[in-house]
Amino acid sequence: MKIDEEYLKPTMFLDFNHSLIQDQILKMFPNLKISNSMNSNKTIQLDLESIRQIAIKLFYFVRDEIKYTIITSFLSRKMMKSSEILKNRRGYC
């Protein structure tokens, strides 16, 4: 299955290339292989056989560790970024 690379790029809100996000992923999945791309961002390479288990573990982490709150979403666009939500352990989807 071919995936359009455009859909795999970080965005303003889904800033999964941020060091906080990358560090959390490495904490949760210490066996992931990390490589440095040409632009010095860390790239995580996933084994296709474990994508389902990774998705489940990430789901439970967000469900159990990130407090859902509608209030912070109205404060600023910055508060809606993945890295800010992880840092503050609260957010709105």
SS3 68: strand
Joined together, the tokens standing for residue 7 give 């859909």
What's the predicted TM-score (pTM) here?
Answer: 0.74
Q: What is the pLDDT of residue 19?
A: 96
Enumerate the domain spans of the chain. Answer: 5-91
SS3 46: coil
The alpha carbon of 89 is separated from its chain's Cα centroid by a whole number of angstroms, namely: 13
Q: How does pLDDT run across 18-44, given as a tens digit for each residue?
A: 999 999 999 998 887 666 554 445 555
Beta bridge partners of 43: 35
CB 12 within 8 A of CB 79: no
